[in-house]
Homo-oligomer: A and B are copies of this chain.
């Protein structure tokens, strides 16, 4: 295959790994699959990554970090704290459009047996919690929300959203209430003493 600079090659490997991970799941991602996805040899991968675990961990770390960064920048687009939190609910599904909550579920399940994944999983989760807690503190400082313990409330909101996502992806055939996300928003509005509908989806709102 065409020669690349080390940086390009590393990134190409991570990209290919992500595609395979999303398609087949973390546990079922093999060195040969990744090599085949790139159209190169399997030995090449071990030239750049000491072990398969390292590769998987780095790939997951990148996609998870990117998602967090994307959400953070989307939220930062507005100045109004309430609007920022509404944006968070809009974009948060623990996934970009392209890789899916399924990968998080995989990572959670694998994490207990793959220390490298566990570290990333925990670090990113803390970051998500910190992001939401920061939004809440901003809102309280601006006087548009009420909250005694921003960390606790952030933790609750994330737990709630994760549980909701878990149900949706694991039991897609069940009649999932259309207002599932509306329920999450309503909960947050109550908890933060916001008026009803304050966090309503902007996309929905503009229609």
Instruction: Pick from A3-11, A77-85, A153-161, A194-202 the stretch touching chain B.
Output: A153-161
Binary B-proximity of A154-179 (CB < 8 A = 1, otherwise 0)? 01101111111011011101111100
| A113 adjacent to chain B (CB < 8 Å) | yes
Interface residues of A, dominant DSSP: helix
CB neighbours (8 Å) of A24 from chain B are 113
On chain A, which size bracket covers the interface? 35 or more
CB neighbours (8 Å) of A169 from chain B are 112
| A91 adjacent to chain B (CB < 8 Å) | no
Assess the B27–A171 pair: CB atoms within 8 A: no
- Give the interface of A toward B (CB within 8 A): 24-25, 27-28, 102, 105-106, 108-113, 121-122, 125-126, 129, 151-152, 155-156, 158-164, 166-167, 169-171, 173-177, 180, 183, 187
